[in-house]
Structure 1
Amino acid sequence: MIRVIPVLILAPTALLAECPPVQERSERHVELMEQVAQAPDEVTARLLTNELWEVWATAPDETAQEILQRGMERRASYDFKGAIEDFDALIDYCPHYAEGYNQRAFVNFIRQDYETALIDLDNALERTPDHIGAAVGRALALIQLGRNDEGQSALRAALKLNPWLPERNRLEPQQTGPETDL
């Protein structure tokens, strides 16, 4: 028992810190989601979505923000191993923060590890169900995995959040008529 105490005293304070609770959807988040769903054109939707990315990429505290930023910088410089390490650390520190999962999914998607990306996208959407980036990423991962019907359904759900997504060109027409009722 005495040997454990010195280890705890010497532990860095960051390891002892806890991520603060993730804030529920802010009033601005709700407003932006409503506006992007009703956007009259692609340019307006893109501007609103850019502001949403600022909301999603605002971490619960300074420690989480630094880890997120470093991981995104590593990803941008193609240091995928380092980015994954950072996003793993972010998720360990802040397991209720959706963007940690979404960013790690993005790296795995780039690496064409769609199964792993899908797990993280589901985790991100569990925490922030209206996360447009995670929703469209999930749709694309399903399509890449050959689960086209699920992917098309997920893409339709994402387009309800933002009808101007660039990925809308991946949407296949739904079949209707007696042959689909069989």
Structure 2
Amino acid sequence: MRIFVFTCLFSMVPLLAGAQPVPDLGPEVDPPSAEDFNPMPEDLPDTGGQVVVEETDPEEEKSRLDQLFDDLAQSDEPSAAERAAREIQMIWMESGSDTVDILMSRAGKAIQADDHALALDLLDVVVVLKPSFAEGWNRRATVHYMREDFGKSLVDIERTLALEPRHWGALSGLAIIQRRLGFDEDALVSFKRALEVNPGLENAVEAIEDLEKEAEGAPA
């Protein structure tokens, strides 16, 4: 897969990671929640360990993804774009491992129950078992974000985008964190990139409008 490097991300990680505390965001910043990111694909059903995974040809899957991304970017029909986005998300959820699928499902349920510690324990195993699975890194980035651990979230977003540079959820997450930390110019670039990939992202459209107004000195 293609590699997409965010120079601003690499410059921010050393500042945020390690022992340094996260900057005080002030009382005007709402507490993070999963709703800030794009909705995650529905978790695969937990069937008591009996998960059936169809074997897929990596080249065929890549070709299918490329076509779906073209459809998503060029479609004039919202319903067609939604179908393409949904199919892309379902492909992203295909880990190729029964064990990883079960762990992802249980991590999703833990997130829904606000049990972030359990979700992280499960996702830590996911990224060890399947480091090439972008959605595992993306899901863990979301949990770190919900815990306000922005440094770790940025690291996992970086891994997600290295594996799938078109992951609009990770791009949106990157932009949201950049904006929360005051990197407005970088956030604008990231939001625009997410919108290029998926023109139907209403949160990105609104954020771009606000950031451009702020840059011009007008109230958002």
Rounded Cα–Cα distance in structure 1 between residues aligned with 2:58 and 2:97: 11
Tell me the amino acid that sits aligned with residue 105 of structure 2: Q
Residue equivalent to 1:136:
172
Residue equivalent to 1:162:
198
CA-to-partner distance for each residue in 1:145-182, whole Å, 9 max, x for gaps?
21111111111111110112022210033869xxxxxx
Rounded Cα–Cα distance in structure 1 between residues aligned with 2:62 and 2:172: 22
CA-to-partner distance for each residue in 1:70-99, whole Å, 9 max, x for gaps?
111111121111111111000111111111
Tell me the amino acid that sits aligned with residue 170 of structure 1: A
TM-score normalised according to structure 1 size: 0.77
Q: Give 1:145's match in structure 2, choosing from 177, 181, 190.
A: 181
Which runs of 5 or more residues in structure 1 are unaligned?
1-21, 177-182
Q: Give 1:39's match in structure 2, choosing from 75, 79, 83.
A: 75
Which runs of 5 or more residues in structure 2 are unaligned?
1-56
Compute the displacement of 1:35 (Å): 0.8
Compute the displacement of 1:43 (Å): 4.1
Please identify which structure carries the higher helix content.
Answer: 1
Residue equivalent to 1:101:
137
CA shift in 2, pair 1:166/1:113, >3 Å: farther
Rounded Cα–Cα distance in structure 1 between residues aligned with 2:131 and 2:69: 24
Q: Which has the greater radius of gyration? A: 1
Residue equivalent to 2:162:
126
Residue equivalent to 1:56:
92
CA shift in 2, pair 1:67/1:23, >3 Å: farther
Name segments (4+ residues, structure 1) moved above 3 Å: 22-25, 41-44
Q: Give 2:151's match in structure 1, choosing from 106, 111, 115.
A: 115
Bigger RCO of structures 1 and 2 (CA < 8 A, at least 6 apart): 2
